[in-house]
Amino acid sequence: MNKNNNSILQDIDYLNQSFGNANVKFLQVTPELYKAELRFSKNARAEIHLQGAHLTRWTDTLGRENIFNSSSAVYQEGVPIRGGNPIIFPQFGAGDISQHGFARNSRWRVMKTQVNSRVTTLGLELRPEDLAPHYCQQWPHDFVLSVTISLGETLVTQMQVRNPSRDSLVFTQGFHTYLAVDDIHSVEISDFLGLEYMDNLRDHAIFQETREKVEISEFIDRRYQGIADEIKILDKSTGRLFLMHTKKCRDAFVWNPWEEAEKKLADLTPQSYQKFICVEPGNMKTPIVLRGGQVFVSEQEIKRVD
């Protein structure tokens, strides 16, 4: 990581003095890594690591835990955190850059905090000068990437990409959300009926979803295309229902490693696959193209309604 930028300027004292308040506190995770703790009400809280702008915890106004975070997650500079809500940019999946791009592995700078009667908000930003040198070599483009996380009656994560250069900026992006469930065997995902999907486990072949409710009974890694603005995720074992509302997200991956692929992931403890489902809205099939000066904004809002 470039030690000449925010890693020195935004130390823990600076963060708390400049951005901390009664509802926002910054804590040290390791000598190099910090996190923000947000509070909206007595029970509604969120935890965001500055590496990756990575939300790892969200409890709603009733104090219910809604996000899965691996108990074996690694908190180390340059290493992605397993679980939570990783920010994926500028590449979703494999490609010329490291898996899922560099946003989730880089340290972001804090730009603002805000507290009012409706939400507690944290605003973060990432620029080329914040990246490790090898990422700049892999993706030598100018950009300003902003993420705003708003904690209130719901959890809203907004991603904004601005192209400050004259050249076009081409990227894919998404929210790699791990929702906590009690029993993966009882999960039903609605609103995908009739959509085409690409199956990563079947040679990237294209199929059409014929089920009104998608159930999970094996390793799944599918990109659904042309999604609606709302996705429902129900855990029938508890009646836990999530409503996921999105803006400017055309696709959504559904992923769970099941037992077979979980064994290959050192940062997942055995049988963890039973406790989460990844529903990941974004733009993966067709890249976003931003001409010079243009801005792209996408958003994910999650509400628990049971």
Amino acid type, 299: E
CATH code that applies to domain 6-304: 2.70.98.10
Query: If 0-12 CB within 10 Å is exposed, 13-18 middle and 19+ buried, where does residue 199 land?
Result: middle
* For residue 6, pLDDT beyond 60: no
DSSP conformation letters of 129-152: GGS-HHHHHHS----EEEEEEEES
Please write the tens of the pLDDT for every residue from 60-102: 999 999 999 999 999 999 999 999 999 999 999 999 898 999 9
Please, which residues have CB within 8 angstroms of residue 67's CB and are 6 or more apart in sequence?
55, 56, 57, 58, 83, 84, 85, 177, 178, 179, 180
Left (φ > 0), alpha (ψ -120 to 50) or beta: where does 83 sit? left
Residues 234-256 as b/e (b if ≥16 CB within 10 A, e otherwise) read: bbbeeebbbebbbeebbbbbbbb
pLDDT of residue 3: 43
pLDDT one-digit tens code per residue, 137-154: 999 999 999 999 999 999
Is 8's pLDDT higher than 50? yes
In total, the chain counts a number of residues equal to 306
- What does the domain layout of the chain look like in residue ranges? 6-304
Mean pLDDT of the chain: 96
- pLDDT of residue 4 exceeding 70, the answer is no
Output the pTM of the full model.
0.96
Q: What is the pLDDT of residues 13-50, one digit of tens each?
A: 999 999 999 999 999 999 999 999 999 999 999 999 99
